[in-house]
Amino acid sequence: MKQIYENLAVMTNGDSILINEIPICDITAFTATIIDAVDKGQRVSSFFGAKTDNADSTALYVILADDESNRLNVGKTIISGTEFPSITPHCPQVHLFEREIAEQFGIIPIGHPWFKPVRYCHSWTGMDAWNRNKNEPILPAVGDFYRIEGEQIHEVAVGPVHAGVIEPGHYRFQCHGEQVFHLEIALGFQHRGVEKAMETGPDSRSLHFMETLAGDTTIGHSISYCQIYEAFSHTQKPVRAQALRGIALELERLANHVGDLGALSGDVGFLPTSSFCGRLRGEFLNLTAYLCGNRFGRGFILPGGVGFDIDQQDVGEILHRIGICNKEITDAINLLWDNQSVMARFTDTGPISEDFAIEMGLVGPVARASGIMRDVRYTHPNGIFRFSQIPVSIYESGDVLGRAYVRWMEIQKSISFIINQLKTLPKGDVLVLPEKLNPLSLSIALNEGWRGEICHVALTDENGSFARYKIVDPSFHNWQGLAQALRNQEISDFPLCNKSFNLSYCGHDL
């Protein structure tokens, strides 16, 4: 029998409810409920603050995902004053969420074990959890870092500008020779203020923020945003549009997974697969461009459906091209598993145990590579995934090999899914125009982006405008996993471990 919590409202993915239907409990009961639910197997998909009518108090909302019963549980509490007892010591997966709440609203989680800013920006309320001067600029990555001292210990600091073409972030390694004892990651360099800018929307820029929130996940984030829009306006999007969205989402996964496998082989010095995959990634981006004119899918996903339809001739062309890609990537990627030196470098590098992954609430291929059945397409399906399931790809080793192999399994499943969808594409329209958004409501959208679970939650005000728009990119859950994966590894394995996670900086920094 599943535990039913009277403190929580029950929803499913893509639902909308009135805010006053969410039970409000005090902070003690709120904390106890989160700890108990997480102990019993739920996980924290989102945890965020929101303004209340009273300037001295802040509302906290939690979204708990119950993967076994496909339910999303929503809890709410109101904090008056500037502090609340930290939940992190009892439930580590909220550690970054609490730091974020402190940074955005200036309220302090008392007892947080490593209380630092997340994005190094000023709060939205004028209060500051670190008592910093209002007029002084806040510099990123400045402040305490965890440090190990000793005669033979040395510290390596890297970034924000790295050697390759990647986004900025700062890493501090505590090392003994080659061995890494501890890695701490400081982000925030990409902070653009997306969540704040979404308030008072939807407006002409809202969709464009979503498309550029993490550019390599344009489809994943814009589908999530549109789902929120459609839930608030009770829009039934056409089935054909749902199928086309599914195709676009899987094309995005294919491009990125193929690119990642190429990058991984490049990092172990195995150049054939690296070169082949570099080109093949582009073939999938070109297929997305075939659908909508943009390689990343800009302009394809719109509230109420999709912006472009395809005809029978297009279906034939896409099937033809994807058939060729399928053959070529199979050849290219199988070289990896047949090559002893590649396997020796992938195996046992950067391991993440199943227990750690569960405790920290990791998501996506990273969680699945540690043996966890966690895939929104399967556990909280919406859109086309309600009609057509994709098997969940799981591996047990939890190391770089596991994360690479999960990607390879997913590549094969996504290709079959796309072929299947194209052959059975429903007829009809691809776009309906949504009505106005419901006032004073809350809506949740979950999607399995290629990095893992994307969670969008929105609250509307009395006019039906966004009063709060909360985005959780899968990277937000997984960065701590990368830090853990480096423990007791060689520092020279960092690039390889980093690629096997391939997390988003801008998706985290928002």
Partner 1 sequence: MYKEILTRIKQGHRTMKFPKGAPPALSDRFRGRLIFDTEKCDPLCKICTEICPVGAIETESKRLDLGKCLFCTDCFQACPEKAISFSKDYRLSVRNREDLIVTTELKEIILAEELEKKMKKLFGHSLKLRQVSAGGCNACEADVNVLGTIGWDMGRFGIKLEASPRHSDGILITGPVTKNMEIALKKAWDAIPEPKILIAVGSCAIAGGPYIDMDQVNNGVESSLPVDLYIPGCPPHPLTILDGLLRLLGRIENE
Those residues whose C-beta lies under 8 Å from the C-beta of residue 44, and which sit 6 or more positions away, are 34, 38, 62, 63, 64, 65, 91, 93, 94, 97, 361
Query: Is 498 within 8 Å of 403 (Cβ atoms)?
Result: no
Cα–Cα dist 27/79, whole Å: 7
Beta-bridged to residue 66, according to DSSP, are 71
Residues from 87 through 126 that contact partner 1 (CB under 8 A): 119-121
CB of 343 to partner 1, least distance (A): 14
- Residue of the chain from 157, 161, 373, 433 that contacts partner 1 (CB under 8 A): 161
Phi, psi (deg, nearest 5) at residue 25: -120, 170
Cβ proximity to partner 1, 8 vs 415, nearer residue = 415
The alpha helices in 147-270, defined as continuous H runs, are 194-198, 206-211, 218-232, 239-267
Phi, psi (deg, nearest 5) at residue 11: -135, 170
Q: Does 279 bind partner 1 (CB under 8 A)?
A: yes
User: Which segment (25-33, 200-208, 389-397, 421-429) binds partner 1 by CB under 8 A?
Assistant: 200-208
- Residue of the chain from 144, 338, 355, 462 that contacts partner 1 (CB under 8 A): 338
Residues from 229 through 258 that contact partner 1 (CB under 8 A): none
Burial class (CB in 10 A: 0-12, 13-18, 19+), 162: middle
Cα–Cα dist 316/365, whole Å: 31
Q: Does 165 bind partner 1 (CB under 8 A)?
A: yes
DSSP state of 204: T
Q: Does 419 bind partner 1 (CB under 8 A)?
A: no
Residue that has been written with the tokens 């029998």 in this structure: 1
Residues from 283 through 302 that contact partner 1 (CB under 8 A): 286, 289-296, 298-299
Helices (H) and strands (E) in the chain, counts: 16, 16
Q: Does 190 bind partner 1 (CB under 8 A)?
A: yes
User: Which segment (16-24, 105-113, 134-142, 243-251) binds partner 1 by CB under 8 A?
Assistant: 134-142
Beta-bridged to residue 25, according to DSSP, are 77
CB of 118 to partner 1, least distance (A): 12
User: Which segment (41-49, 102-110, 215-223, 231-239) binds partner 1 by CB under 8 A?
Assistant: 215-223
User: Which segment (4-12, 136-144, 372-380, 414-422) binds partner 1 by CB under 8 A?
Assistant: 136-144
- Residue of the chain from 66, 67, 128, 167 that contacts partner 1 (CB under 8 A): 167
Q: Does 160 bind partner 1 (CB under 8 A)?
A: yes
- Interacting residues toward partner 1 by CB under 8 A: 119-121, 137, 139-140, 160-161, 163-168, 188-193, 197, 204-205, 208-209, 211-216, 218, 259, 272, 275-276, 278-279, 281-282, 286, 289-296, 298-299, 307-308, 328, 331-332, 335, 338-339, 504-506
